[in-house]
Every structure is written in structure tokens, then in C-alpha cells.
Amino acid sequence: MNHYPYSFNNYLMRNLASRRAAFDETPYVYPNNLPGAINLIREAVSGERSDELFYDYLIKNAPNDESRNTITGIRDNERKHNMMFRQIYLDLTGRSIPGAQNEEVQYPKHFCDGVRKALHGELAAVQRYRKILFAMQNRVHINMLTEIITDEIRHANLYNFLYSFNKCFNM
């Protein structure tokens, strides 16, 4: 004799249906957010170029070789991300993104201010790029976005290190 008012199968079916409905309403479902993801990719290409210019400034103003070398590696990753985003955009739309025109970059007054801004920028990029990832169905694009996102997380960790290494908390 069943002591529960509903069978386990009915419980599972109700839960599964409600979870599926909730998932379908989120922006993470492929066809629903592909146009938004394409716009974010276009913005990412512009953002990656701005980051590259900003990091060039930090490299020139770095107080030591370790900071300079670390930021150079991050900047080189940003160049690679720019190319990867361009490829994904081309694959999805059949069109190329035109080259950036006179990117405006706000440079910090002090190196440590730049490190702080870069750290926040890397973390914000992870959130934006995750939205793009959720729209991808092609395994190659998913892998590319996963590489970009994990690089951005690593960059944030490196900027955290530079913040401590250069004793920016004393400023």
C-alpha cells in the first residue's frame, strides 16, 4: 500500500516539468539568446581591443619587470581572445567584424589604480562571456569560450597578485 498521496513517478514528472518550464524562461536557452550573444561578441571584440591598449599603458608604467612580464602575457591573451571572438562571429553570421576605429581608453593616474580597474574588468568580462557561452551549440565555439573565460579568471588572479606584490593596498 502506498502511503504517499502521489506516486514517485508523478512527483518526478511534476518536478521535471516545472524545472523545464523555469529553464525555458531563462536567457540560457540557445535560440532565445543567440541574437543577444552576437551583440555581446561584437562588444567583446571592441572591449578586448580597449583592454589591449589599456594593458599597453600598464606595461609602460609597471614599476618592475615581474609586473611588466605578467601584464604582457595578459595582453597577449587578450589579442588571442580578440581573434577567437572574430572567428566565432564570422562562423555564426557569415560576416567579419570591422577593425576598431580610434578606441577611447581612460588611463589611470597611478599604476595601482590601473591594476584595480583591470581586475574589475576581467571579472566583469567573465559574466558577459558566460552569456555568450550559454548561446553556443557548436563544440568548437563552446571550447573557445571556455578557454576565454578561464583565461579571464586567471587574469583576475594575476591582477590580484600584482595588487599585493606592488603593495597597492598602501596607496
Over the stretch 73-109, which tens digit does the pLDDT of each residue have? 999 999 999 999 999 999 999 999 887 666 778 899 9
Q: Which residues contact 51 (CB under 8 A, 6 or more apart)?
A: 75, 78, 118, 121
Residue 92, Cβ density class (10 Å: 0-12 exposed, 13-18 middle, ≥19 buried): middle
Q: What is the b/e burial string over 34-56, where b = at least 16 CB atoms within 10 angstroms of the residue's CB?
A: beebbebbbebbebbbbbbebbe
> What structural domains does the chain harbor?
31-170 (1.20.1260.10)
According to the model, what pLDDT value does residue 145 have? Answer: 98
Q: What is the pTM of this model?
A: 0.79
Which one is predicted more confidently, 5 or 72? Answer: 72
Q: Give the mean pLDDT of 57-64.
A: 96
According to the model, what pLDDT value does residue 7 have? Answer: 57
Q: Phi/psi of residue 99, each to 5°?
A: -60, 150
According to the model, what pLDDT value does residue 14 have? Answer: 59
According to the model, what pLDDT value does residue 101 have? Answer: 63
Percent of the chain residues topping a pLDDT of 90:
68
- Cβ(28)–Cβ(130) below 8 Å: no
- Cβ(145)–Cβ(129) below 8 Å: yes
Nearest alpha carbon to residue 118 among 84, 88, 73: 73
Residue 78, Cβ density class (10 Å: 0-12 exposed, 13-18 middle, ≥19 buried): buried
Which one is predicted more confidently, 12 or 50? Answer: 50
Residue 71, Cβ density class (10 Å: 0-12 exposed, 13-18 middle, ≥19 buried): buried
What's the grid cell of residue 50? 580597449
